[in-house]
Amino acid sequence: MKSLQVTAFLATSALASGQGVSIGIVNAGFEAPAIPADSFATTAPPPGWSGVGPLDFGARTIGVLNPGASGLYPLGVPEGQNCGVVFLLDNFGNQSFFASQPAGLVQTLSANLQTSTRYRLSVQVGNLASAPGFPHSQFQFGGFPSYRVELLAGGQVLAADNNSLTPNEGEFELSVVELDIGGSHPLVGQALGVRLLNLNAAPGIEVNFDAVELRAESIPVDGVNYCTAGTTTAGCAATLTALGVPSASAANGFVLSANNVEGQRAGLLFYSVAGPNSSPWSPTSSSLLCVKSPTQRLGVGNSGGNAGACNGALSEDWNAFRATHPGASGQPFLGGELVYAQAWFRDPPAPQSTNLSNARVFVVAP
Ligand SMILES: [Ca+2]
Ligand SMILES: [Ca+2]
């Protein structure tokens, strides 16, 4: 029998910093080579990193910067003394020419892509400010040439942050890329990698990076609970459980249940393949919507049990639903997908006249 474990490590919808296992990145904070304050070293890639894109180690180059008190980063860098540099100046005589030829830093890691794993790549992205001293004063660092942070496997892009942030001049912001790998993926076993690009697409010349971190956490195939149940008028907090193996081919054999539901209530289970979520069901509701839209409803049922008691339950065989609803959200399932499930039921005195259970994520087997 499969274990019906209810663990705490997906208590939030995202893998927070500090959770899971950290995957080794060489020179993740660009502290090597160590250089004096208010100086840079851009004649070679920083140890552990390689160059990617058109670079000449002159006008278009990578390396490290220790801004010191130069004014390039008045608040300092997020970690240590140095940050990574991607400096792309296409034409020394004309700093308004932007070639839009991305270039930057790449590192292939010693860890390989694994199944049933949630990855979280975080990188501090910096927007260099103009500064008065030489040699900074000869460059127009005002503006931001755009960036992309990529998580790689086998040299191919798995997930990316394509310039979603615009840090203030002279400041850093944290870019986070999260990815769930289910029961299978074409790049499983391939070496993971990180690529940090300056998109060379607008004024500003330089993008900086610091404190690169990649964390991984396993997601058991038969599922884990996450998010928080609402509390019903009668004080019930409905909890999802599962029994069996979620399958892309089996006709039945994976029963999702919401237990501890108020008795004699109409309700249903629903799921999403779009990802986890945690948004208020209504401004005054204690329930959270724990899955992203679009959502797919399963069948409506009655919770049974006794009115006013917490002994109701809503159950349905997800495999049977999948097998008989070829047009349902996420179809056709092939195996490897992550599915996020939750239950909804009537609670007439409550805000929205309804409440929601906690949620459960599971990996579909082939
Ligand atoms: Ca650093
Ligand atoms: Ca800038």
Task: Tell me whether residue 136 is in a domain.
Answer: yes
- Considering the domain architecture, whether residues 230 and 162 belong to the same structural domain is answered as no
DSSP 3-state percent helix, strand, coil across the chain (nearest 5): 5, 45, 55
Q: Minimal CA–CA distance to 65: which of 41, 47, 88?
A: 41
- Considering the domain architecture, whether residues 296 and 259 belong to the same structural domain is answered as yes
Please state, in angstroms and rounded to a whole number, the distance separating the CA atoms of residues 345 and 323: 24
Tell me the CA–centroid distance for residue 210 and ligand 1, in Å.
Answer: 5
Residue 9 has pLDDT above 70, yes or no: no
Q: Give the pLDDT of residue 13.
A: 38
| Full residue range of the structural domain in which residue 239 is found | 224-363
Confidence band (pLDDT; 50, 70, 90) for 16? low
Strands of the sheet containing 50-52, edge to edge, are 50-52, 103-112, 191-198, 147-153, 156-161
Contact present, 270 and 298 (Cβ < 8 Å): yes
- Considering the domain architecture, whether residues 214 and 313 belong to the same structural domain is answered as no
Tell me the CA–centroid distance for residue 160 and ligand 1, in Å.
Answer: 22
Section 26-31 average pLDDT: 98
Contact present, 242 and 4 (Cβ < 8 Å): yes
CATH of the domain at 345: 2.60.40
Two tokens, residue 90: 């296409």
Query: Which tens digits make up the pLDDT trace of 311-323?
Result: 999 999 999 999 9
- Considering the domain architecture, whether residues 241 and 274 belong to the same structural domain is answered as yes
Q: Give the pLDDT of residue 41.
A: 98
Task: Tell me whether residue 6 is in a domain.
Answer: no
Section 51-60 average pLDDT: 95
The pair phi, psi for residue 100, each rounded to 5°, is 50, 45
Residue 268 has pLDDT above 50, yes or no: yes
Query: Which tens digits make up the pLDDT trace of 151-174?
Result: 999 999 999 999 999 999 999 999
Please state, in angstroms and rounded to a whole number, the distance separating the CA atoms of residues 281 and 295: 14
Which ligand has the minimum distance to the alpha carbon of residue 124?
Answer: 1
- Considering the domain architecture, whether residues 245 and 278 belong to the same structural domain is answered as yes
- Considering the domain architecture, whether residues 257 and 191 belong to the same structural domain is answered as no
- Considering the domain architecture, whether residues 299 and 177 belong to the same structural domain is answered as no
Q: Minimal CA–CA distance to 131: which of 38, 34, 37?
A: 38
Tell me the CA–centroid distance for residue 173 and ligand 1, in Å.
Answer: 14
Confidence band (pLDDT; 50, 70, 90) for 3? very low
Stated pTM of the model: 0.74
Number of domains in the chain: 2
Average pLDDT along the chain:
92
The two beta strands, 254-261 and 266-272, are: unpaired
Query: Which tens digits make up the pLDDT trace of 32-46?
Result: 999 999 999 999 999
- Considering the domain architecture, whether residues 354 and 246 belong to the same structural domain is answered as yes
Confidence band (pLDDT; 50, 70, 90) for 223? confident
CATH of the domain at 189: 2.60.120.260
Task: Tell me whether residue 8 is in a domain.
Answer: no
- Considering the domain architecture, whether residues 142 and 250 belong to the same structural domain is answered as no
Q: Give the pLDDT of residue 183.
A: 75
- Considering the domain architecture, whether residues 207 and 263 belong to the same structural domain is answered as no
- Identify which of 13-22, 76-85, 184-193 has the greatest average pLDDT: 76-85
Which ligand has the minimum distance to the alpha carbon of residue 78?
Answer: 1
Please state, in angstroms and rounded to a whole number, the distance separating the CA atoms of residues 311 and 236: 9
